[in-house]
């Protein structure tokens, strides 16, 4: 019998990052009974508490208009946490949690709230505004009136920051009267996702990628953020926003920045954000002269989602007329030396076939094939970074199919699933971002000039759509948007990555 070849495994040095506790803090959530607070923010804080990162003398206070007391609020939160939490840990965490009933536009109760918060300017105080943006200035005004904006106080602003450049500037000016830029954290939870963070490690920690990360080697980039859900209870808000404002102007453009920015001099907050700003300012304008060629907007009609019949957007809105887009596709370009000529195809929508957020970097084809036609086609290499539902990274390569019978080519992935590689579920994006606020680290938060630059690019698109008089193109729920979105990329000889590869 032939002697078996020895199996060698390379030695792997595993470094386990132990969670580092933060300083004692107070975190106040305005809008504390809302969906975001109960579904995301408070569970994120609970998970960081169970990992030992939040000291027991910290305080977490929910603020809303509902007439609850501390115990009533804890009961509501308990129902959320016990589903996947340890009973004792849940009760220990709830000891940190309190509640106050306040109206941002009325003075009642603010004296008591200020007394509760105390006058210790050396204590970290985070005010998270999980409310409608039209309440931001009222809340900040009262926080300033009671000197709660002093010392180590910070304010977190949820998107949207305005609905255009003018309103964004007004919000930033109003908040800036009470909190300076170093105290202001504009949150985009996509920047807290593990895969987005890994873009920095992939690009700047590996000699394999950075030399190829340019127009000479990359053919095009795709970013897809797809949802199976409709607007549901958010119809009122969504009809005044639409897909471009809700997703592209913030989430997707931030992903573009992380993909396309130049290497920062360090990971210092402003070093990273300076490079992101350069990307936003380098985006080629899209306006009335070219919006019809470079953008597609759609609105879903009745159809099927996740095996069930679903109504159309106008049915959910309970209105027969609306020009609000629930889908948008954009062909964007970055006018600089690194990316000149490389299209960035961006799309997002509601009621699409699957829930997925994915970045696909497609490399250029080899210049000449040495293989016979019988070997099969040569497929372009792709780097696919999936943000949700399961975070992973795949690098698609061409190899020989094993076995006798001639040389046959196969396109296969080098696949890294975070859950499989590290043996544990990954922290939610809000877990990282909330503790970054406590630490005073703004690296993953938008600076004011980033918000302004994003709106300067998005505003002319919105204006062009409004002035065209055209309605969004209809698409059936459960499909990948209007057929024009397919034409947008296929007329360039490319296709959307929809096969899970």
E strand or H helix at 398 = strand 392-400
Q: CA 199 to CA 385: how far, in whole Å?
A: 9
Active-site position among 8, 251, 368, 411: 251
* CB contact set of 36 (below 8 Å; sequence gap of 6+): 130, 158
Q: In whole angstroms, give the CA distance from residue 197 to residue 272.
A: 12
8 A C-beta contact, residue 366 and residue 378: yes
* Annotation marks residue 189 as catalytic: no
Question: How far is the C-alpha of 266 from the C-alpha of 264, rounded, in Å?
Answer: 5
Task: In whole angstroms, give the CA distance from residue 137 to residue 184.
Answer: 13
| Cβ atoms of 129 and 64 closer than 8 Å | no
Q: Is residue 306 exposed (0-12), middle (13-18) or buried (19+ Cβ within 10 Å)? A: exposed
CA–CA separation, 73 vs 129, rounded Å?
18
Cα–Cα distance for residue pair 327/347, rounded to 1 Å: 7
Beta bridge partners of 305: 308
Helix and strand counts by DSSP (H, E) for the chain:
18, 17
Q: b/e string for 314-344 if b means 16 or more Cβ within 10 A?
A: bebbeeeebebbbbbbbbbbbeeebbeebbb
Burial of 424 from C-beta contacts in 10 A (0-12 / 13-18 / 19+): exposed
Evaluate whether 251 touches 226 at the Cβ level (below 8 Å): no
Query: Nearest CA to 102 among 159, 74, 143?
Result: 143
In sequence order, which ranges of 158-288 are alpha helices (DSSP H)?
165-176, 194-204, 235-238, 242-243, 253-260, 269-282
Active site residues: 251
């Amino acid at each position: 019998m032939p002697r078996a070849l020895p199996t060698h495994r390379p030695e792997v040095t595993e470094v386990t990052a132990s969670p580092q506790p933060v300083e004692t803090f107070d975190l106040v959530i305005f809008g504390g009974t809302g969906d975001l607070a109960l579904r995301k923010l408070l569970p994120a804080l609970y998970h960081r508490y169970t990992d030992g990162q939040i000291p027991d003398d910290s305080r977490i206070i929910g603020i809303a208009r509902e007439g609850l007391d501390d115990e009533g609020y804890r009961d509501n939160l308990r129902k959320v946490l016990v589903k996947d939490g340890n009973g004792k840990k849940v009760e220990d965490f709830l000891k940190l949690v309190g509640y106050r009933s306040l109206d941002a536009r009325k003075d009642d109760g603010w004296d008591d709230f200020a007394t509760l918060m105390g006058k210790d300017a050396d204590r970290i105080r985070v005010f998270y505004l999980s409310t409608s943006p039209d309440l931001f200035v009222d809340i900040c005004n009262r926080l300033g009136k009671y000197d709660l904006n002093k010392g180590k106080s910070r304010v977190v602003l949820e998107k949207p920051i305005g609905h255009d450049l003018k309103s964004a500037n007004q919000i930033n000016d109003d908040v800036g009267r009470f909190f300076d830029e170093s105290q202001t954290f504009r949150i985009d939870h996509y920047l807290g996702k593990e895969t987005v963070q890994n873009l920095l490690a992939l690009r700047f920690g590996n000699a394999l990628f950075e030399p190829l990360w340019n127009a000479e080697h990359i053919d095009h980039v795709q970013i897809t953020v797809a949802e199976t859900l409709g607007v549901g209870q958010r119809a009122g808000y969504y009809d005044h926003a639409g897909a471009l404002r809700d997703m592209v102007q913030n989430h997707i453009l931030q992903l573009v920045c992380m993909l396309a920015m130049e290497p920062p001099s360090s990971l210092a907050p402003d070093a990273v954000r300076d490079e992101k700003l350069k990307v936003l300012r380098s985006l080629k304008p899209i306006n009335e002269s070219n919006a019809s060629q470079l953008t597609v907007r759609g609105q879903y009609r009745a159809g099927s989602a996740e095996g069930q019949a679903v109504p159309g957007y106008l049915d959910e809105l309970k209105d027969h007329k609306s020009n609000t887009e629930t889908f948008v596709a954009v062909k964007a370009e970055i006018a600089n030396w690194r990316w000149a000529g490389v299209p960035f195809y961006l799309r997002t929508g509601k009621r699409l076939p699957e829930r997925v957020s994915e970045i696909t970097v497609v490399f250029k084809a080899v210049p000449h094939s040495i293989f016979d036609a019988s070997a099969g086609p040569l497929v372009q290499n792709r780097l696919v970074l999936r943000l949700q539902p399961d975070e992973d990274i795949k690098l698609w390569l061409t190899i020989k199919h094993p076995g006798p019978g001639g040389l046959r080519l196969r396109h296969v992935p080098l696949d890294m699933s975070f859950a499989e590689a590290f043996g544990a579920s990954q922290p939610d994006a809000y877990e990282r971002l909330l503790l970054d606020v406590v630490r005073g680290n703004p690296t993953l938060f938008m600076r004011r000039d980033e918000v302004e630059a994003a709106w300067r690019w998005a505003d002319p698109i919105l204006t062009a759509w409004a002035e065209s008089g055209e309605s969004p193109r209809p698409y059936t729920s459960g499909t990948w948007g209007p057929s024009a979105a397919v034409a947008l990329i296929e007329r360039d000889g490319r296709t959307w990555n929809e096969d899970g590869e």
